[in-house]
Chains A and B, each alone.
Chain A
Amino acid sequence: MKTLTKAATTGLLFGVGGVYLALVGLLEMMQARPIVFGAVNLGQAVLALLALACGAVAARDAGPAFARAGAGLLGGLLAGALMALLQVIVATVPLQGMFIAASPALRNMLAFGFAPGPGALAMLLGGGIGGLAGAVLAVSVPSLRRAIVAGAAAVVIAGVFQELIQLMIQYEGIIGWIRDFVYTWQGLRPQGAVAIFVIAGGTSLVLSHRSSAGHVPSPDQRRRRRFISAGVALLVLVLMPLLAGAYIGEVLMLVGLYILMGMGLNLEVGLAGLLDLGFVAFFAVGAYTTALLMSGSSIGLLHLSYWEAMPIAVLVSILGGVLFGLPVLGVRGDYLAVATLGLGEIVRIVVLSDFAAPLLGGPQGVLDIPKPSIGSFELGSPVKLFYLTLVCAGVAAFIAWRLENSRLGRAWEALRDDEDVAQALGVNLIRSKLLAYGLGAAFAGLGGSIFATMLGSVYPSSFQLLISINVLALIIVGGMGSLPGVVLGAIALIGLPELLREFGEYRYLFYGAALIVMMRWKPEGLWPSEVRSRELHAAAGEAEPVAAMEPG
């Protein structure tokens, strides 16, 4: 009975989710993105995924195999029924006054091109089959399941990003031959999709067989494996703009800037627990300082080169961070979030004001900021600036990593857990907090500095509250206090939406959904910060210097 109720609720929930996706217009938009050209599009894939996931979730904890299959079937049928109902309603009732997305095109999609009656039946059946398949997948051998998921994911990635990928493999010879086998100029070929599915699935199978044949990987091995994959990801990041051209370079540039800011905010929020919603202020300070120092226009102050302006911008940002921190020293938790929100807005409004206009240019901003150059080599294009950002992010990550494992980092973590107790143990709250604001601001200021020279101009309207929220969101999604988490979060929340341009207007819908899903099922984030093993670590490496200095 309990299983039945659960399967039914799951089915209804997924059905409602599907109806929602359809009515906000996402499904129809996804339909325009083919995966396998002429055969499968993203919208259909999402529908299939919904049914599969519904079946898998409904079948979880349902007991014996047949009960699981039944639960999956029931869940899928119910979800399908809701979608079918939507299709029939859209066909019979003129809903478009309320829901623009409830168009004939949507109906046509939900009916798989059939008339309303047969279409509803097809959707119901499709839901049932999908749910059943999901349940079967959920109870099947893990290695097989992983292989199928890996294969399907590879096909989706190869199909959705086909333009980018094709751009990267514009070569003659063997690569050209492979490209022509897998792709037409319009998209993935069916034969290519099958080949990719087989290769990715097969690789996954082989890998999981190898690991299961041996032993369970130790935490050490697992960590090494994770860092190897991180290294590979970094290599891809470095090579990507060279291979894929300027557009990817621009996207990665943006991701890099957010990584920089994320590292900074991570010191404040992730380590010291100071929830800061005015973080964009530091970004603005860095950008404006750079702009004023470098600009060739009439309000430019010194016409410095970028390499002279950047350190000053960082220093001014640190100063800004400390000044920003002073008034909110005694404010905690939720109140701190509200107070910093106010401070961040004050900075933006001051920059906009007539009062500061002679100095900062008011709404017109500061124009004519030259690009940085090394000797006679100008870092003119976004791709070149991306490498500058990458280097800066690397340095920032190194600093953050060192700080994390230092006396100050421990004091921050203590502060985050219990401010009063930390103080009672001798931690100077004022100093620690101001250092958190100052150092966090330094990273954001550096980001702002690069941002200013990248655009060649700065305007107050670039420094909206939304930037603070984006940075905070990427930290939460990546994993509070985790450096790799910042990178992952930036890629997932900043990079992906940029690549899926046409879904731009749904960006914050994704954000909302991603945040809710993360908070509900993985509150520690995509790549949670690791528990450092310091006691055992000592036995390996640190014991010797201690012994050596004991007599002194």
Chain B
Amino acid sequence: MAEASLLLCRRLTRRFGGIAALTDLDLEVASGAIHSIIGPNGAGKTTVFNCITQNLSPTSGEVWFRSDRIDGLTPDRVAAAGISRTYQNIRLFRNITAIENLLVGMHLHVHSHWWGAVLGTPHTKREEARAHAEALKLLHFIDLAGRGDLLARNLAYGEQRRLEIGRALATRPKLLLLDEPTAGMNPHETSRMMAFIQRVRAEFDITILLIEHQMRVVMGMSDRVTVLDHGAKIAEGTPPEVQGDPAVIEAYLGVKSAAPTAARDHAASLLGAAASER
């Protein structure tokens, strides 16, 4: 397992002043997996993402990606190493078009200089044409063909979600971090998004780390689930293992772990409902 792991966080800690958002988190993401992070609101899930992409620098601890230590790098270097992400509240470049969003995502893989662009060198033109073709393909993949010239802010909600994932894919990541991709979606849209995420993994052969609140999504797609509460890991395992874990149930429902089995089962079945309520 260890040699197959793509991402490794060791004793990852992040404090905001006196408040510990994340305490001594050990996290190992296996190559090719869909790995979910769940936990109640404020458990520190998004902080994990920020500490991996170095949008926040960890207070202490290490982050290893493939065989390199990436904590302390700038976010653009982390992206170049092969990690890309989406955001809980969609953060597209709202005032440029959909296809331009994808082209920005391809920034790392378009090799041209500004003076080449000014002079209109053949190399620059070739690079632009290549990037453009790739962006069109990607646009097709995220099911936005024909919508590429719309400003990002004018796209429908689901389209914006897909475009954000497409933009992240444009950086050609090995590891894709998805922060609540189904937030604000109805059951039908959620199912479509789940299928889409599966398609992303199959087509791009990448590993996905997922923050999710809808238990249906987590339990239906994950190979492995990590549960956080108050910035610390309280459980980890396959979906069924986590679902039955007393510590998890307690964290979500406040039920004492000494509760009888029947009550615990009941609580476990409520887990999905409780979590998707928000």
Interface size on A, residues (CB 8 A): 40
| Beta-carbon contact of B117 and A407 below 8 Å | yes
| B206: min CB distance to chain A, Å | 16
> Are the C-beta atoms of A533 and B149 separated by less than 8 Å?
yes
Knowing A531-B97, A546-B129, say if A423 contacts B74 (CB, 8 Å). yes
A window 419-465: CB within 8 A of B: 420-429, 435, 439
Q: Are A535 and B76 in contact (CB under 8 A)?
A: no
CB < 8 Å: which of B79, B94, B97, B98 contacts A426?
Answer: B79
Please tell me if the beta carbons of B96 and A402 are within 8 angstroms of each other in the complex: no
Q: Residue on A with the closest CB to B164? A: A421
A-B contact count (CB 8 A): 135
Q: DSSP majority for the A interface? A: helix
Give every chain B residue within 8 A of A423 (Cβ-Cβ).
Answer: 74-76, 79
In the complex, A121 has a CB within 8 A of chain B: no
CB pair B114–A403 under 8 Å, yes or no, is yes
User: In the complex, which residue of chain B has the Cβ closest to the Cβ of A408?
Assistant: B114
- B125 surroundings in chain A (CB, below 8 A): 545
Give the residue of A399, A414, A542 whose beta carbon is less than 8 angstroms from that of B96: A414
- Measured between beta carbons, the chain B residues less than 8 angstroms from A422 are 93, 104
B91 x A410 contact (CB < 8 A): no
B251 within 8 Å of A (CB atoms): no
Of B53, B99, B114, the residue contacting A535 (CB under 8 A) is B99
Write out, one digit per residue, whether chain A residues 523-552 have a CB within 8 A of any chain B CB (1) or not (0): 000000001111110100011011001100
Residues of chain B with a CB closer than 8 A to A531's CB: 97, 149, 151
Asked if A410 and B99 make an inter-chain contact with CB atoms under 8 angstroms apart, the answer reads no
- Verify B124–A429 contact, CB threshold 8 A: no
Report the minimal beta-carbon distance from A383 to chain B, rounded to whole angstroms: 30
The answer for the CA separation of A411 and B96 in the assembled complex, in Å, is 11
Contacts of A416 in B (CB 8 A): 95
A127-185 residues at the B interface, CB under 8 angstroms: none
- Are B94 and A417 neighbours in the complex by a CB distance under 8 Å? yes
CB-defined contacts of B114 to chain A, threshold 8 Å:
403, 406-408, 435, 439
With contacts A406-B112, A407-B110, A410-B104 known, is A424 near B53, CB below 8 A?
A: yes
Q: Are A538 and B104 in contact (CB under 8 A)?
A: no
Tell whether B108 is near chain A: CB-to-CB under 8 Å. Answer: yes
Residue on B nearest A413 in the bound complex, by CB: B96
Closest CB-CB distance, A29 to chain B, in whole Å? 41
Instruction: Say whether A421 contacts B91, CB under 8 Å.
Output: yes
> A403 and B118: CB pair below 8 A?
yes
Cβ of B51 to closest chain A Cβ, rounded Å: 13
Spot the interface stretch: B80-88, B183-191, B237-245, B255-263.
B80-88
Q: How far is the CA of A425 from the CA of B91 in the complex (A)?
A: 12
**Majority SS at the chain B contact face:** helix
A417 engages B110 (CB within 8 Å)? no
Q: Which stretch of B4-12, B14-22, B131-139, B226-234 is in the interface?
A: B131-139
* A403, B85: Cα distance in complex, Å: 28
The verdict on A402 contacting B149 (CB below 8 Å), with A423-B75, A425-B105 known, is: no
Report the nearest A residue to B145, measured CB to CB.
A535
Specify which chain B residues have a CB less than 8 angstroms from the CB of A535 in the assembled complex: 97-99, 136, 139, 146, 148-149
In the bound complex, what is the Cα–Cα distance between A501 and B142 (angstroms)?
Answer: 58
Choose from A409, A411, A424 the contact partner of B79 (Cβ within 8 Å): A424
A547 to B95, CA, bound (A): 30
Q: Does B55 contact A (CB under 8 A)?
A: yes
Contact between chains at A403 and B129 (CB < 8 Å) = no
> A549 contacts which chain B residues (CB < 8 A)?
126, 129-130
8 contacts between A and B (CB under 8 A): A406-B128, A407-B114, A410-B96, A414-B93, A422-B93, A425-B170, A546-B130, A546-B133
Closest 10 A-B residue pairs measured CB to CB? Answer: A406-B117, A535-B148, A426-B108, A426-B79, A417-B93, A546-B133, A408-B114, A533-B149, A414-B104, A423-B75
Question: A414-B96, A531-B97 provided; 10 other pairs, C-beta below 8 A?
Answer: A406-B112, A413-B95, A422-B104, A425-B167, A435-B114, A531-B149, A532-B100, A533-B149, A546-B129, A546-B132
List A residues at the B interface (Cβ < 8 Å): 399, 402-403, 405-411, 413-414, 416-418, 420-429, 435, 439, 531-536, 538, 542-543, 545-546, 549-550
